[in-house]
Structure 1
């Protein structure tokens, strides 16, 4: 009789996705003139051996000591692991962020709280006893689907509050959507509702029009189209004490059936304060990444490797590029990142030919004595190599071929080269993932942001892996999970295409690296297809 062996996918079978909705109460005011502008970063340790990993952050709410954040934190939950979780609350200032408080617990405690709503005090540090306010975390299991709602609505005849001498107060309306916890919830249960959407603040008007665009159903109603939703209209106040006009309640199912029907906006006392009409409320099921792969699309990998002098002299054991002559099989951090991410992506590409670049060095093996910020790592005109093994071989050949580390750390040339490469192959139905591996801060940040904004219109995603111990705080600016990236000219990215991780957070278990860096790719791919009207149809692809 054979001995029992756990299934290889046992961890996957026990993994589930959670949504964390966060609010804070009575935060300490850290601003002198106005109130604080808080946001929350969430970190998770998958087990005792791993490092803290940033899994998400909320949007920033201006002038509020009692913020309720609409951006959910989506994370993987493993029942069989003791996952620690830390919430760090900051006040956002133009030049820096100031910590307001922190709280650390484990995921099991969040799930075990009454109604899965967890309350806890915030502290500045372990020794401090100062009251810094409290945090409220509401947890829902994600019911996966690929459905979204497309919503447009308009309000009319909003009542404006009159101030001194009969003057009408300035009215800057905005919309919030909250979802109730159960199907039986009513307007009386607003305090327990979870905020899932906040619109931009509009210019003064008593007849606002809100085009919400597309909202995923897992965020809007956790894929329960009969769950009550609260559509609340507010008047923005600089003090943070916004005035509510009122609420319209209805589920997705009800609103889809009542497009064009005029609803009264009701305040808590039952008085109407205007009307709300949904001009569009559709819910649609989008194709998945698998649908596109099945219909002929493939995923391709490209790599850009940092050879700047800040990596350390090649002959020194402290160098991030150091190859131990006594143990040449030992991989550098660069090689480990290539190996772990590349082996996941290689099977998705039928020809397994990947462009590979180096930057920030003198590539003497190419016959070049000047500093280059984008050179083919194989030393040939065509930068493609075969498979992950080809990437690793090109890397080692460069190490042994007399490369001269230099600088600075400019990302733009490799981005431009890859963008041109993709444009020349756009008819081949390839979605490219560009892997940047770097040891330091980007020195051409403005130009890099400009190129990323342009690249958001191309079939590509960008993954940045930071190796070593440098300060990578600016990299988080590129990973625009809270809001779309915008360049210095005001141009906005069409979608979020950047994911940044720090390699040292995975030094105890590198197996988590590829999972965290590739998590957002399927959604980014589908978003590109939707933005360009591409359906998972081989005929449509040929026309495109």
Structure 2
């Protein structure tokens, strides 16, 4: 019999929270081609400024009431129109086709919509102030679109966001009118036909350290007896010391096994950074007590590399207090590694770069359980334009992230449980009212959804 809930130790949920999470760091390598020349007697001296808009920047600006003088990022950079500056390249002298050595670093979160603005300038004055420099063009792109465009993302430059939005909107409408099939050229490629202002190319380099998957099956043999009217209820804990040596993090805590000195614990699986392979670990075994703090049985210092060695090791558990009192003390039992596998864990971006494609399909429930769209209680309620209903919120939140990983952004969108115009009840109809359920982008899906409600 076994269980969790050891006093003085962490729960399985807390263990998951304490496991080491390594952010995905990216470095962006930039180059431009065919830039406009804004200098009369020479050639432009271009550089690129990179801005980021994400959940945090938007919240900070909202708290400041939209005041750009008050809205500041954590790096004390001003937040303008929801964007903060995160980096600049060096200035390349006298060229319209610069390849920049200075890379820009960002942190990537798959589950969040992160938008980058690349603004290209011609340096006219030796100052960091941008309004005195000549603007050569800009382009917006999500981080998701960057990382899913392998190996290089390239786009035309635009004068402003409206020009880019108009271009992309026009292509999307044209594709929708053609009733496109999956596999047709994507919007990304079709919007790159006009390069009058030059192009920007971005190559993404992942900087995140390799993670390791550790799978351990372990047992104990002849552990010390700690209970007066029984044996012991042993469990083990894995900790790693931080570089300061002042604090230890719990990597894993097993379940306790009741009334035994020879426990066999459930298999353990955790993920750790590769740099921890040879770092010291403290492996300790304890006796669970329901009404008091756990009793220490013994511990040993090891590493993940040693745990995964062949033949599988047997480790003596040492209780230093007990050892100091007994001359013939050997150990307080053995920790037996029955098997231990340490494997590399590919990152999400490595899967994407290797060819993984995500397809996004939508099904919307129009059955009576959702309520009438005219009722404020309905999930489909459309009476308040300032407050999107729950379906719109869900489609926008999920679709705006996933659409960057669908190569053509052609989404099958279906509905069920609705009365059609001819009076029939359908449990499988195309949301756009056509024979082909494909909608272009999340905006196309939302347009079809609004039309279906009307």
TM-score w.r.t. the length of structure 1 is 0.41
Q: Which has the higher contact order (CA 8 A, sep 6+)?
A: 2
Q: Which has the higher helix share?
A: 1
